[in-house]
Amino acid sequence: MSKNFLLVTLALAFTGIASAADADVKLTIRADTPGPTIAPEIYGQFMEHLGRNVYEGIWVGEGSSIPNTRGFRNDTLAALKKLGVPVLRWPGGCFADEYHWRDGIGDRSKRPHRVNTYWGGVIEPNEFGTHEFFELAEMLNAKTYLAVNVGSGTVQEMSDWIEYITSPSESTLAKERRANGRDQPWKLDYVGVGNEPWGCGGDMNAQYYSDEYKKYALNIKTPRDNRPVEVASGPYGDGYEWTEVLMKNAVKQMGAYSLHYYTLPSGSFQKPKKGPALSFTEADWIVTFKETLKIDEMITKHSAIMDKHDPQKKVGLYVDEWGSWYDVEPGTNPGFLFQQNTLRDAVLAGLNLNVFHAHAERVKMTNIAQMINVLQAMILTDKEKMLLTPTYHVFEMYRPFQGATFLPAEIDAPPYTLGDVSIPSVSVSAARTKDGKIVVALVNTHPNAGATVRTAIPGAKAGKVSARVLTTPAMNAHNTFEKPDAVKPAAFTGAKRSGDAWTFSLPSKSVVVAILE
């Protein structure tokens, strides 16, 4: 390949100039028939005591040589603030069902050290506990989502923890909180009753868990002005029978219902290998997206069951664990679930966010797994070094969707096919922001061909556009500590106006977000 050819290829990728192989796509954005609000909490984060997510990822302690504010590292704090993180889910995950909250309060030097039996068998020092979590949430202006211990805990333990957090009274627990440095109670927004009770959270069946859920939910007692949403733990993926049992038996006690689903190129946790994060083929690329798009059908079918028992849609569906799951990076602790993050993950994130927007009437929160150094992370660290992943950039580009009004879209696009696998070549989501602008996200899944998207927007007129694109020449392009900006957004110039219509010339394997006004 000549140097000049490579430069032309790069220019085409980053400016959005169409190529001869472009697919012809017709898109209509129905600004004249607005839908539900896209809950900001769809952009939620998940932080578990797993690998280097908490320790090193966000918490380094006041005595660390890494620049920090009261023990929280400054670089990751700044990056998370830029994302506008709406909600944090903590402390797990499977870890939640072996976590006892009293281990994480009081003098840090006297807190007990435990073995993290779920994740790597390492020592959990409990330096990051209740006070640290709520302080982090306040620093990020994020809502708080606790997963309480049902697997090895008790109703009384949960009840005491919630009183410690929320009580403004002179009770013994409220006084203990004050003695530990926090005078006023914290705002508690969501309480998840257990985590994956069908698996690591207790190996329960649906009937048993529904009875346990009601018992725990009944004992979530807080002041009226600090009442959290009570979240029942739902199934993994297509566990529709679990949903039927829970909704039938416990819907009256629910504020929300959770769902977990991870994207594995292998399609199954039962297979020895999930697939590598970096050395993958085009066949792996398309299969990954085929697997991730199954979430649309799952949400549709779970929502139908929920509609039967909750026709007013009072119970929100929370996809509070989702994202890609590959083999760990060679040479790392298998229990730390550390994987690299490529352009494939950026496209995957865009596809999932577009699906969640389309179900905004029922889906009120999602939490990508996980925030730092674990699975499909926003941020990777190596001691004092820090980088932003391609997935981080998609979340940042999509930030205008938080709290916007969903606009239905009709798209006619040819499929992207490889062998016997076929998926949509272009995915779209559109919304009207609070200040009246139209935000459009376009994801081109084809790794070798662009797409010309001819767009009509009945009910809106737009005279100018600002847009960014995330793309690279290689499918597996990723950021490293030596080259932290190898994958980052660039200005997109492939949008052209003709009357009230717009044409977007998408490069291959790209995510584009445009603001029309």
Domain CATH for 294: 3.20.20.80
CA–CA separation, 472 vs 509, rounded Å? 8
Q: What is the pLDDT of residues 45-56, one digit of tens each?
A: 999 999 999 999
The sign of the torsion formed by the CA atoms of 292, 294, 297, 299 equals negative
CA–CA separation, 426 vs 90, rounded Å? 34
Amino acid 463: pLDDT: 83
* Domain-ending residue, one of 402, 433, 463: 402
Considering the entire predicted model, what is its pTM? 0.94
Percent of the chain with pLDDT over 70: 96
pLDDT tops 60 at residue 8: no
pLDDT tops 50 at residue 506: yes
pLDDT tops 70 at residue 502: yes
389, 464: one domain: no
Q: Is residue 311 part of a domain?
A: yes
Amino acid 499: pLDDT: 86
155-166 vs 172-179: helix crossing angle, rounded to 10: 60
Q: Is residue 9 part of a domain?
A: no
Q: Is residue 137 part of a domain?
A: yes
CA–CA separation, 39 vs 434, rounded Å? 12
> Which residue segment(s) compose the domain that 463 sits in?
16-35+407-516
Amino acid 15: pLDDT: 36
Amino acid 414: pLDDT: 95
Q: Are strands 316-324 and 123-124 parallel, antiparallel or unpaired?
A: unpaired
Q: What is the count of structural domains for the chain?
A: 2
Residue 218: how many other CB atoms lie within 10 Å: 12
24, 64: one domain: no
β-strand partners of 511: 443, 470
246, 108: one domain: yes
CA atoms within 13 A on the CB side of 350: 30
The burial class, CB within 10 Å (0-12 / 13-18 / 19+), for 199 is middle
> What DSSP element (H or E) covers 350?
helix 343-358
pLDDT tops 90 at residue 4: no
* Domain-ending residue, one of 402, 427, 446: 402
CA–CA separation, 365 vs 355, rounded Å? 13
51, 192: one domain: yes
Structure tokens at 503: 């044409």
CB within 8 A of 293, min separation 6: which ones? 351, 355, 423, 424
Q: What is the pLDDT of residues 315-345, one digit of tens each?
A: 999 999 999 999 999 999 999 999 999 999 9
70, 29: one domain: no
Q: What is the pLDDT of residues 192-232, one digit of tens each?
A: 999 999 999 999 999 999 999 999 999 999 999 999 999 99
Place of tokens 């006619």: 412
Average pLDDT of the segment spanning 451-455: 97
**Looking at 154-158, 237-241, 269-273, 429-433, which range is the least confident one?**
269-273
Q: Is residue 488 part of a domain?
A: yes
CA–CA separation, 508 vs 505, rounded Å? 10
CA–CA separation, 75 vs 339, rounded Å? 20
Please work out, in degrees rounded to the nearest 5, the angle formed at the alpha carbon of residue 40 by the alpha carbons of 363 and 89: 80
387, 434: one domain: no
CA–CA separation, 216 vs 233, rounded Å? 12
335, 472: one domain: no
Q: Catalytic residues, which ones?
A: 196, 321
147, 282: one domain: yes
Average pLDDT of the segment spanning 399-414: 97
384, 412: one domain: no
155-166 vs 130-140: helix crossing angle, rounded to 10: 50
Q: What is the pLDDT of residues 471-480, one digit of tens each?
A: 999 999 999 9
Position 138, amino acid:
E
3-state helix, strand, coil in the chain (%, to 5): 30, 25, 45
Amino acid 19: pLDDT: 43
Q: What is the pLDDT of residues 246-260, one digit of tens each?
A: 999 999 999 999 999
> What DSSP element (H or E) covers 363?
strand 363-369
* Domain-ending residue, one of 342, 370, 402: 402
Amino acid 20: pLDDT: 37
322, 456: one domain: no
Amino acid 470: pLDDT: 98
- The string of DSSP codes covering 54-82 is SBTTTB--TT-SS-EETTEEHHHHHHHHH
65, 188: one domain: yes
CA–CA separation, 60 vs 58, rounded Å? 7
Q: Is residue 2 part of a domain?
A: no
CB within 8 A of 329, min separation 6: which ones? 277, 338, 339, 340
Average pLDDT of the segment spanning 37-41: 98
Average per-residue pLDDT in the chain? 94
CA–CA separation, 64 vs 25, rounded Å? 53
Structure tokens at 436: 């009246």
CB within 8 A of 70, min separation 6: which ones? 62, 135
262, 350: one domain: yes
CATH number at residue 428: 2.60.40.1180
Which one has a higher pLDDT value, 79 or 13?
A: 79
